[in-house]
Amino acid sequence: MPRITIDDVELEVEEGRTVLQAVDDAGLLMNGVEIPHYCWHPKLSIDGSCRLCQVEVEGMPKLQIACNTPVQDGMRIRTTTDRVKSARAGVMELLLVNHPLDCPICDQAGECKLQDYAFEYGVEGSRSREPRRALKKNVDLGPTIVFDQERCILCRRCVRFCDEIPGTHELAVMNRGDASVIETFPGQQLDNPYSMNVADICPVGALTTRDFRFKIRVWFLEDVPGVCTGCANGCNLHIGVANNKVHRYLPRRNDDVNDTWICDEGRLSYRRIGAADRLREVQVLEEDGGRRVAPYAEALSSAAARLRGLLDGKGPGVIVGIASAHATNEDLFTFRRLLDALHIETAGLVVVRGAADELLLKAERGANGAGARALGFGDGRVVVDRIRTGAVDGAIVLGHDILDAEHLGGIEALGRLDTVIALDSHQSSLQRVSHASFPVRVPAEKHGTLTNWEGRVQRVEPAVEPRWEARSEGEVLAALGAALGLEGFSEAWDPREVSRALSEAVPAFAGIELASLPPGGAPLRTPPGRKGRRAT
């Protein structure tokens, strides 16, 4: 492998990489080795158009662009010489000649590479006396993106994204020279399932999403690492939070999961966190069919009494468990332990499915189906059939995916049961037939782990705190076990301790613990597809 030296740092790099790729591979780009860049993006083809990444290579008379210079063994590169600094300042000056002084009203301000690099590498004043180029400020590119032509620096990242990632080719550079401008092809809109990624990769404020425009200044946002729960892919996120409210999802780079992209559907799924239809109250069903809000402890003992009545009267065979792909591994491990302690053998995973694509989106619309299966929750269709045919009397139901047309298609069959205990984050008709119903937290509100479709276990942590009484499914189920008088169950439920117990009890999770999971996650010991085993 070639060895290169860059600013006195020695690197062994893969054959065929460029200087910029080699520095990025080593995790040093803008993180010890400063090579500012606009047109280069780690997941797109090389353009070499902005000229900002120039570096000095020993033995080469001219400065070279780091993004398109292949490494050679023995290469010595310098990124901080006077020639390099002067070239960068020249590029910045040219880029700023026509750039509008929009920063006070620009959504990108605070996370703009033009601001950052102008401050770090640019010149202080402008020598230009000409009027700045006036172009269109508010171009409607499609349903999700608005374009400001004046702010564009023509790095062509957005064009290459549409060509190379979704392959939809909506954008192009039209005209030539200083008349060049980004446009959609005539009669076309920028409208694909990944369209909003162009706003993330636009290094300036030229492309903004309709969803986030003018919502909040970015410096008010706290950035919490998270995982999208829209499907089984488990894309990594930056969750933007202010005042205990999620304002946006942005992709967080994970080369093993989502590169640097997320789909639009997943991006907008943050709205579900603070949605008006969140389930906010513990409720019980009265004998006359009426519903009322109840204290948590009362609902727990009522649920425990109903389950105990069924267990003592008819045995555990008449009760079933429905696991949810929206619960964490720790929640589901607690559910598994509860079912095992009650000798309830019929349990399965029920999840809604939708269309998948070839890029990221998976058919399973839940983040933790693979985790549920690794914990022994098999295909829930058997359980659904038993409910439909009236072969059971009681059900403990996590989530309301079971009501989907693909499964029960409504509440009628559940309504015939003697006892339904439901744990859910959002309102649905499930509450109408639940004898006790508990509001639970979504993954962005709790500590835990999720296992994506290919068996990567990833950590979630609370980005926001619900303003109402909501617990993790695991906490409610542990308290239910305690109310049933089961040994080893208590109201105190700590996901870190549960994760440790899970890692010891289930071989697939051996060595995987919430407290020590790396930011990019870790693979299950037994990947999905191999036979899962019951936990206890």
Tell me which residues touch ligand SF4 (CB under 6 A): 152-158, 182, 202-204, 206-207, 228, 230-231, 233-235, 258, 262-263, 265-266, 360-361
Min dist CB 38 to ligand FES, Å, is: 5
Residue 40 interacts, among ligand SF4, ligand FES, none and using kind-specific CB cut-offs from 5 to 8 Å, with: ligand FES
Taking the least distance from each CB to ligand FES, the nearer of 51 and 446 is 51
Min dist CB 36 to ligand FES, Å, is: 8
Residue 233 interacts, among ligand SF4, ligand FES, none and using kind-specific CB cut-offs from 5 to 8 Å, with: ligand SF4
CB 70 within 8 A of CB 57: no
Taking the least distance from each CB to ligand SF4, the nearer of 181 and 341 is 181
Q: How many CB atoms lie within 10 A of CB 200?
A: 18
Residue 411 interacts, among ligand SF4, ligand FES, none and using kind-specific CB cut-offs from 5 to 8 Å, with: none
The piece of 51-59, 303-311, 384-392, 404-412 that touches ligand FES (CB under 6 A) is: 51-59
Distance CA 190, CA 142 (A): 5
The piece of 44-52, 285-293, 367-375, 480-488 that touches ligand FES (CB under 6 A) is: 44-52
Residue 157 interacts, among ligand SF4, ligand FES, none and using kind-specific CB cut-offs from 5 to 8 Å, with: ligand SF4
**97-125 burial, b for 16+ CB within 10 Å, e for fewer?**
ebbbebeeebbbbeebbbbebbeebbeee
- Six token digits for residue 196: 């909003």
Residue 369 interacts, among ligand SF4, ligand FES, none and using kind-specific CB cut-offs from 5 to 8 Å, with: none
Residue 262 interacts, among ligand FES, ligand SF4, none and using kind-specific CB cut-offs from 5 to 8 Å, with: ligand SF4
Taking the least distance from each CB to ligand FES, the nearer of 66 and 375 is 66
The 245-251 sheet, strands edge to edge:
222-227, 236-242, 245-251
50 lies in the site for ligand FES, by CB under 6 A: yes
DSSP-derived letter for residue 270 is G
Residue 67 interacts, among ligand FES, ligand SF4, none and using kind-specific CB cut-offs from 5 to 8 Å, with: ligand FES
Give the residue among 49, 359, 35 at the shortest CA–CA distance from 182. 49
The piece of 2-10, 37-45, 105-113, 277-285 that touches ligand FES (CB under 6 A) is: 37-45
Residue 266 interacts, among ligand FES, ligand SF4, none and using kind-specific CB cut-offs from 5 to 8 Å, with: ligand SF4
The DSSP annotation for 90-132 comes to HHHHHHHHS----GGG-TTTTS-HHHHHHHHHS-SS----SPP
Min dist CB 454 to ligand SF4, Å, is: 12
Residue type, 97: V
Residue nearest to ligand SF4 (CB): 266
Residue 451 interacts, among ligand FES, ligand SF4, none and using kind-specific CB cut-offs from 5 to 8 Å, with: none
- Six token digits for residue 414: 């559940």
Give the residue among 208, 21, 221 at the shortest CA–CA distance from 107. 208
Q: How many CB atoms lie within 10 A of CB 94?
A: 12
Min dist CB 376 to ligand SF4, Å, is: 24
Taking the least distance from each CB to ligand FES, the nearer of 36 and 481 is 36
What is the pattern of x (binds ligand FES, CB under 6 A) and - over residues 56-95?
---------x-x----------------------------
37 lies in the site for ligand FES, by CB under 6 A: yes
Unique residue bearing structure tokens 């996120």? 237
CB 138 within 8 A of CB 146: yes
H or E segment to which residue 332 belongs: helix 329-341
40 lies in the site for ligand FES, by CB under 6 A: yes
- Six token digits for residue 485: 């008088």
Residue 299 interacts, among ligand SF4, ligand FES, none and using kind-specific CB cut-offs from 5 to 8 Å, with: none
333 burial (CB, 10 Å; 0-12 / 13-18 / 19+) is buried
Give the residue among 29, 53, 31, 59 at the shortest CA–CA distance from 40. 53
Taking the least distance from each CB to ligand SF4, the nearer of 194 and 493 is 194
The piece of 35-43, 267-275, 277-285, 503-511 that touches ligand FES (CB under 6 A) is: 35-43
Q: How far is residue 347 CA from its own chain's centroid? A: 28
- Six token digits for residue 415: 């309504």
- Please count the residues of this chain forming the interface with ligand FES, following the rule CB under 6 A: 12
DSSP-derived letter for residue 323 is E
The C-alpha angle 26, 32, 38, rounded to 5 degrees, equals 80
Min dist CB 422 to ligand SF4, Å, is: 25
39 lies in the site for ligand FES, by CB under 6 A: yes
Distance CA 273, CA 441 (A): 9
Min dist CB 126 to ligand FES, Å, is: 22
Out of 17, 38, 413, 449, the only residue in the binding site for ligand FES (CB under 6 A) is 38
Min dist CB 238 to ligand FES, Å, is: 23
DSSP-derived letter for residue 376 is T
Distance CA 150, CA 41 (A): 22
Taking the least distance from each CB to ligand FES, the nearer of 52 and 470 is 52
DSSP-derived letter for residue 185 is P
Residue 361 interacts, among ligand FES, ligand SF4, none and using kind-specific CB cut-offs from 5 to 8 Å, with: ligand SF4
Helix ranges (DSSP H) in 342-428: 369-374, 381-388, 412-415
Taking the least distance from each CB to ligand SF4, the nearer of 205 and 481 is 205
Min dist CB 506 to ligand FES, Å, is: 46
Counting every residue written for the chain, the total comes to 536
DSSP-derived letter for residue 511 is T
**232-261 burial, b for 16+ CB within 10 Å, e for fewer?**
bbbbbbbbbbbeeebbbbbbbebeebbbbb
Question: Which positions lie near ligand FES, rule CB under 6 A?
Answer: 37-40, 48-53, 65, 67
